[in-house]
Structure 1
Amino acid sequence: MFFKEIVGQQDIVQKLRNSFTNGRLGHATLLAGKEGHGCLPITLAMSRYIMCRERSEEDACGECPSCKKFDKLVHPDVHFIFPVVNKKGKDPVSDSYLVEWRKFLLATPYATSNDWIREIATENSKGTIYKDESDLINRKLSMKSFEGYHKIMIIWMAEKMNDVTANKILKILEEPPQNTYFFLIAAQPEQLLQTILSRTQIVNIPPIDVAEVANYLSANYQIDSAKATDLAFFAEGDLARSIELFDKVDELQQNIENFNKFIQLSKNEQTVEIWDFINTQLDRGMNSYIEFLSYITHNIRRNIIETVAPSDNKILSDSATSAVKLDINFQQARAIYKLLNDAIYHIERNVYPQLALFDVSLQLKKML
């Protein structure tokens, strides 16, 4: 991964690059943001840049021995820690999964932790960074650098560390080895120990600009710009989510049609028709209800944004815009947004989805 390959986030890239070249990059940096915002690709590009022996002001050279090793993610002074599963026949440490990890990361640098766990185990498995990992970190960092320069430790999904691991990592951060850079990546940094947060330079990675995501989708997935923009918008600048939605374009279009129907039935208090609609048109499994509610939250969010900061710039395609427009004020939008997110929360925790959605419909009538 090079800086030039990162989708958007050029302000973040510039700040990190300048920090390193000016000698102001701390020994521990925490990149905090959703997985699809590019935290891992930025870290990979930054690590390559640090290790490159012929770097320019803009990027790594791509030709030196260090860059050649990076092409295959086999640089001996760059170490990876990531969530794994504890399964028979393998020690629960990252080194046991390095072959799978390199293949996975080279193919999908914007993939999510769920994608990774599905790669090495079943979908319902839970990835964790186990306590044995911290002992290996100490051992690796105590060794002399193979190439005589820097060492880098990348901890992906750092919030997945169990308590023992986190406390051992804290001790390492308090007394870091010389010439070593730590990059911690967290989608939910609030789950990290406060003492770890206090010992890192925190870089918040915002959503990628919608136009940047749309351009990437158009170039790499051969879809027209209007559909690409719709996907980027509904994913809220999350590239990983946009790619996931690409496989559900038909479902997204169906949600647009269902949205108007659901709102109309709710406004008219057609309770029997609403119940039938929920159990026929929307019933494609629990995830389909969550997808539908998530779709509505995106539209409500758009209403909030346009109410607070109106813009003449058209974000969505004509078909999507005409389908999702709601005539509501800021207070209504905020209340509905909370209602929908609460429903998603309850369904994810096994509340009967049809009843949750029926309740949403009844509450919407009071709010609209």
Structure 2
Amino acid sequence: MFQLDDIQGLDSLKKEIVTLISGKQFPHTSLFLGAEGNEKLHLAYATARMLMCDNNEDGVCCERCNACKRTLHFTHPDILFSFPFIKKGDSDSQSEDYLSEWKALFVSNPYMNVFDWSSQQSEDNKMPNITAYECSQIVRKLGMRPYEAKQKVMLIWMPEYLGKESNRLLKILEEPPEDTYIILVAEDQEKILNTILSRCQLFKVDPMSTEEVHRVLVDYFKKTTSEARMAAFMADGNMSEALSLFNEGNLAKNDEFVEWLRLCYRYQHGEIIKWVEHFATYNKEVKKYILKFGIHFANEMLKIKYNYGSDNIRLPEGMLETAARLCPLLSFESIEKLVKILDEEIYLTERNCNTKMQMIYTSGHIHRLFNGKRFVA
């Protein structure tokens, strides 16, 4: 793990990084930028390992030298980390105080996002940040000589959370000490000051493909092939999203949306009320998941109506057949309206609306979208 070969896709980018390191031309300040849930953090650490390896060849760490052994277990003193955190207590804190927890989360999930990290730190929905004191510690640590290696690497995860404090780092980002590499790993370029961006060489990390997400879920996270396929379909290249779909047994709840759609078509009022009462017992995240799956299901129905071909429909076989039988009952316009209705339901769910009243009303609205042809389950 944490070799370039372990990273899905990105062949041209990996080749560029290998060429730069082999030619001793890797930039001393760089930014790995990519959407949530892709390989950017994984790639950044693999790059740090290559920079530290005494014998790397063609992008492969030797795994024999002392540096490789230390970096594999995250114990090398010359690879430093900085990241946003939720401060505990009134005294000055730094990311080093939370490093063991952060590393453990990273090892278990190299695709983690800020929500994964902050929810592990606190259950109070507090937002993490990179404080002024943390910035002073970054400058102090980068100014020190390496402990073991000839070079030092500082990996700064989510610099978006620096805010105005990023000005404290401008000088050291522009002129890092000799044999020092600073790698920033970010998701949202708009939230990073231009004065920071201008000092970094940018490496854009593309989203993962559906097949790559599926492969990682099966090979690394040991999910079943069928569950991994469905999660990959819905995640749209976001591994964090794919992993979240396994929470609360969400993937097993896909059939509940289809059952609701059947009830809405027939408008069996008593059965709809039973379904809604059961739906109301779920927590907010499960409700949102079922509604998000509904949007995914509706979008795949549009593909069926546009004759995309079954190979391009991101639904498991049994559900694909159900979607194909439902398609003649809904016009293009009705399916597009269904997506908007479900999106509105997610918005209302976020704001803790009265679930029972809203879903019963919405059931009637969806019923009116059907054109009256009989649906055979």
SS of corresponding position for 2:110: coil
Distance 1:288 1:264 in 2: 20
User: Equivalent residue for 2:74?
Assistant: 73
The Cα of 1:310 is off from its aligned counterpart by 2.9
Letter in 2 for 1:115: D
The Cα of 1:341 is off from its aligned counterpart by 3.7
Contact 1:235 1:241 in 2 (8 A): yes
User: Equivalent residue for 2:320?
Assistant: 321
Contact 2:158 2:187 in 1 (8 A): yes
The Cα of 1:139 is off from its aligned counterpart by 0.9
SS of corresponding position for 1:202: strand
The Cα of 1:244 is off from its aligned counterpart by 3.3
User: Equivalent residue for 1:232?
Assistant: 232
Q: Map 1:308-347 onto structure 2 (within 5 A).
A: 310-311=308-309, 313=311, 315-325=314-324, 327=327, 336-347=338-349
The Cα of 1:71 is off from its aligned counterpart by 2.0
The Cα of 1:201 is off from its aligned counterpart by 3.4
TM-score scaled to structure 2, two decimals?
A: 0.81
Deviations 1:314-352 (A, max 9, x none): 644312323445636776666654554444344324444
Q: Map 1:63-142 onto structure 2 (within 5 A).
A: 63-88=64-89, 91-122=92-123, 124-142=125-143
User: Equivalent residue for 2:374?
Assistant: none
Distance 2:22 2:306 in 1: 39
CA 1:174–1:218: 2 relative to 1, 3 Å: closer
Q: Map 1:194-213 onto structure 2 (within 5 A).
A: 194-213=194-213
CA 1:213–1:112: 2 relative to 1, 3 Å: same
Contact 1:28 1:182 in 2 (8 A): yes
Distance 1:26 1:300 in 2: 46
Q: Which runs of 5+ in 1 are unaligned?
A: none
Aligned length: 365
Work out the percentage of aligned pairs sharing the same amino acid: 27
The Cα of 1:186 is off from its aligned counterpart by 2.2
The Cα of 1:210 is off from its aligned counterpart by 2.1
Q: Which runs of 5+ in 2 are unaligned?
A: 371-377
Distance 2:256 2:3 in 1: 42
The Cα of 1:136 is off from its aligned counterpart by 0.8
Letter in 2 for 1:261: E
Point out the more displaced range, 130-139 or 165-174.
165-174
TM-score scaled to structure 1, two decimals?
A: 0.82
Q: Map 1:207-226 onto structure 2 (within 5 A).
A: 207-220=207-220, 222-226=222-226
Letter in 2 for 1:196: I
CA 1:362–1:96: 2 relative to 1, 3 Å: same
Point out the more displaced range, 207-216 or 135-144.
207-216
Letter in 2 for 1:93: Q
CA 1:167–1:89: 2 relative to 1, 3 Å: closer
Point out the more displaced range, 62-71 or 143-152.
143-152
Point out the more displaced range, 283-292 or 33-42.
33-42
SS of corresponding position for 1:37: coil
Distance 1:241 1:134 in 2: 30
Q: Map 1:300-311 onto structure 2 (within 5 A).
A: 300-303=298-301, 310-311=308-309
Letter in 2 for 1:55: N
CA 1:101–1:270: 2 relative to 1, 3 Å: same
Distance 1:188 1:125 in 2: 20
The Cα of 1:68 is off from its aligned counterpart by 1.8
User: Equivalent residue for 1:286?
Assistant: 284
Contact 1:283 1:289 in 2 (8 A): no
CA 1:51–1:308: 2 relative to 1, 3 Å: farther
Distance 2:135 2:315 in 1: 47
